[in-house]
Structure 1
Amino acid sequence: MSNQLVIQTEGQYLIMERIFNAPRELVFKAHTEAEHLKKWWGPRGWEVTHCTVDLRPGGAWHYCMKCVDEKQGDFFGFESWGKAIYKEIEAPATFSYTDYFSDAEGNESQGMPSSDITVTFEEFEGTTKYVSRARYESAEALKQVIEMGMEQGITETMDRFAEYLETIR
């Protein structure tokens, strides 16, 4: 396992793994606190303009990413809202949530795929192994988000996260 994001699909599942050169507690914290998420979440050229986290079962993570890179053409100025409803939390080992596209008020965007995600953080040879396992309603729903460019976006996001970790270690 390298420090590059490994992505694989199995039917309606999207599995992602990566090693981060930081302690598990820090990796977990940076994934679950708004002050950290604001600094790294989203692909390159996007900034988080809104982020709230209520880390408890039934609590929500609600955020907005805005494209600030003029070189991204039609995406420049575009806002993308998302919301996650936490299900289970066992800090610093794992958390699970339902993830969906939303509007600014947190209402689920109709016609856009949602997923149930479990993220685990494993101590691995002095680093942290991150594993995200997302289940979509169907293989077609997963295909829809992949066709929207999700793989490139999440790869860039995880690269930004690794860079951010280096600044706070």
Structure 2
Amino acid sequence: MTNAFNLTAPVDTLAMEFTREFDAPVEALFRAHADPELVKKWLGPRGLEMTIEEWDFKSHGGYRYAHKDPSGEYRFNGTFHTVRENEFVLQTFEFEGAPDMVNLEFMWFEDLGGGRSRLRGRSICPNTEARDALLSSGMEGGMTEGYEKLDELLGTL
């Protein structure tokens, strides 16, 4: 079963918000975000090769990774400010192709019972131009594909 990915960008805000439900327990959903070997299997759209240089998934940890396709390589980095197991992550996110455009991202991991969970997120951009650039970049399609891959992965855990 494929669950719907919902992305909104409320007018007159710097925020983007999303929700996505998964047919897997919250512990498995959280683990798929915490373990770099699992992250490489689902983060990003299909057709991209992912390499992780750093993935220190804990409060005050950091990350840096790259996605690569025939047209180039795209690097991202950030800091995990707060990580609470199976519950919450607060992190920064920066696309290195747009330096100094750092987003503040919140993710809530919700146990829905019956072996189901929900991921809810909010990303706050530094300005409306940065937010609109992300929205027009194909980000929504990439997130949709990534979460479809995550569904497939969660079915094997």
TM-score (norm 2): 0.90
Q: Distance in 2 between matches of 1:101 and 1:6?
A: 22
Which position in structure 1 is the counterpart of 2:16?
A: 14
CA contact (8 A) 1:41 1:47 kept: no
Q: Which 5+ residue runs of structure 1 have no aligned equivalent?
A: 68-75, 104-108
| C-alpha contact 1:38 1:51 (8 A) present in aligned 2 | no
Where does residue 75 of structure 2 map in the other structure?
81
| Matched residue, 2:112 | 124
Preserved CA contact (<8 Å) 2:89 2:108 = yes
Moved more, 50-59 or 22-31: 50-59
* 1:139 aligned residue: 128
Q: State the shift of 1:17 in Å.
A: 0.3
User: Is 1:61 matched up with 2:50?
Assistant: no
Distance 2:145 2:57 in 1: 24
Say what the alpha-carbon RMSD is for the aligned residues: 1.7
| 1:39 counterpart residue number | 41
- Aligned length, in residue pairs: 153
Distance 1:151 1:117 in 2: 16
1:152 equivalent among 141, 152, 157: 141
1:91 to 85, 95, 98: 85
- 1:65-114 CA-to-partner distances (Å, cap 9, x unmatched) read 112xxxxxxxx2411111120111111101110100137xxxxx426x32
SS of aligned partner of 2:156? helix
For the 8 Å contact 2:26–2:111, the answer to whether it is kept is: yes
CA offsets 1:102-138 (integer angstroms, 9 cap, x no match): 37xxxxx426x32100101101132011001111112
SS in 2 for 1:28: helix
- Equivalent-residue separation in structure 2 for 1:39 and 1:110 (angstroms): 26
Partner residue of 2:29 out of 24, 27, 30 = 27
Q: Structure 2 unaligned runs (5+)?
A: none
